[in-house]
């Protein structure tokens, strides 16, 4: 028991010595492993920034009975896209056509897909920073370790799959958001189906949201492609070389073959 505790302490002390020996080495950034990680870091920023920073509105032109002047009612919406909380308002704040427009809202709640996408992109952003710090600051620790490349490889595979899931879910939600804030909203407003004449005005361009979907799939491609280069660093790719570098002594290979 005492010998096991001693071995654990010895390993911890060796790890602490390695972690304290920070040496900046930018050579890994010139290799595909580090270069693609930089691209993943940049792409993750665009992914959560283009989605999480969106604000828009949809406008409807309203014509009251016996009046020819059009009034505009507006419903503002944005991330995390809880459209069922986005109520219509008139400018100035009056009851146009004697209708309390604040009691009417857009349809749908797409916060789960949007928040899942943005939250995952932020976690990827943070992981890329940690991985790049390990690549350029503790190159020898990463290359000499068996566990760190394996952990990096597993995380890469999981991230590739989650990029596919989160982006697909967000792309579907974005399609529904465009429908919910488009011309079809006029038919869903009860006053517009009675005496009030309503015409769809405009909706904010969602080009940045389209870009967020593109960057989501781009991230999936980057992480999927980088999986091969991370795999080459693991003992799965060259177990004989890795075991030889970690072991001491051993049986020499047969000669003459």
Domain segments of the chain as ranges: 25-231
Question: Which pLDDT band holds residue 9 (cuts at 50, 70, 90)?
Answer: low
pTM for the whole thing?
A: 0.81
**For residue 253, what pLDDT is reported?**
46
Tell me the pLDDT of the chain averaged across its residues.
85
Instruction: Please indicate whether residue 12 or residue 128 has the higher confidence score (pLDDT).
Output: 128
Residue 169 tokens read as: 């879910």
pLDDT at 8: 56
Give the pLDDT of residue 77: 94
- DSSP conformation class of 253: P
pLDDT at position 7: 60
Q: Is the pLDDT of residue 10 over 70?
A: no
Bridge partners (DSSP) listed for residue 59: 74, 202
Instruction: Indicate the pLDDT class of residue 54, thresholds 50, 70 and 90.
Output: very high
Distance, in Å, from the CA atom of 130 to the CA atom of 214, rounded to the nearest integer, reads: 25
Instruction: Note the Cα 180 to chain centre separation in Å.
Output: 23
62 φ, ψ (degrees, to nearest 5): -120, 130
- Nearby residues of 14 by Cβ (< 8 Å), 6 or more positions away: none
Q: Does residue 38 have a pLDDT over 80?
A: yes
Residue 249 reports pLDDT greater than 50: no
Q: Which of 74, 79, 49 is nearest to 60 (CA)?
A: 74
Q: Is the pLDDT of residue 255 over 60?
A: no
**Residue 86 to residue 102: CA distance in whole angstroms:** 9
Instruction: Give pLDDT, residue 252.
Output: 45
The most confident of 20-34, 59-73, 212-226, by mean pLDDT? 212-226
Of 96, 58, 63, give the one whose Cα is nearest residue 197: 63
154, pLDDT greater than 60 = yes
CA distance linking residue 162 with residue 173, whole number of Å? 16
Strands of 55-63's sheet, edge to edge?
88-90, 70-78, 55-63, 197-203
For tokens 């797409």, what's the residue?
110
pLDDT at 69: 72
CA dihedral (83, 84, 89, 94) in degrees, to 10, reads 180
Question: Looking at domain 25-231, which of 3.30.70, 1.10.760, 3.80.10, 1.20.140 is its CATH number?
Answer: 1.20.140
Token pair belonging to 120:
């995952």
pLDDT band at 17 (very low <50, low <70, confident <90, very high): low
Q: What is the pLDDT of residue 250?
A: 41
Residue 18 Cα distances to 140, 217, 235, 246, angstroms = 9, 37, 20, 16
Note the pLDDT of residue 64: 82
Q: How many residues does the chain have?
A: 257
pLDDT for the residue numbered 251: 37
């Amino acid at each position: 028991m005492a010998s096991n505790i001693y071995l654990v302490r010895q390993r911890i002390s060796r790890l602490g010595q390695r972690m304290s020996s920070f040496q900046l080495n930018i050579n890994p950034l010139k290799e595909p492993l580090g270069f693609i990680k930089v691209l993943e870091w940049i792409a993750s920023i665009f992914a959560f920034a283009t989605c999480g920073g969106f604000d828009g509105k949809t406008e409807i032109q309203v014509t009251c009975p016996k009046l020819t002047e059009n009034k505009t009612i507006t419903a503002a919406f944005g991330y995390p896209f809880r459209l069922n909380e986005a109520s219509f308002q008139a400018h100035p704040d009056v009851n146009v056509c004697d209708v309390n427009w604040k009691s009417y809202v857009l349809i749908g709640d797409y916060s789960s897909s949007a928040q899942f996408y943005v939250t995952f992109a932020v976690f990827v952003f943070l992981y890329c920073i940690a991985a790049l710090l390990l690549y350029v600051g503790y190159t020898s620790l990463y290359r000499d370790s068996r566990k760190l490349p394996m952990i990096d490889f597993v995380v890469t595979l999981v991230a590739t799959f989650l990029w596919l899931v989160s982006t697909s879910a967000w792309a579907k939600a974005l399609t529904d958001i465009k429908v919910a804030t488009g011309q079809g909203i006029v038919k869903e407003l009860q006053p517009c189906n009675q005496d009030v004449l309503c015409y769809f005005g405009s909706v904010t361009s969602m080009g940045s949201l389209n870009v967020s979907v593109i960057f989501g799939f781009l991230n999936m491609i980057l992480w999927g492609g980088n999986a091969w280069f991370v795999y080459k660093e693991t003992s799965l790719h060259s177990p004989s070389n890795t075991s030889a570098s970690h072991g001491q002594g051993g049986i020499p290979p047969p000669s003459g073959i």
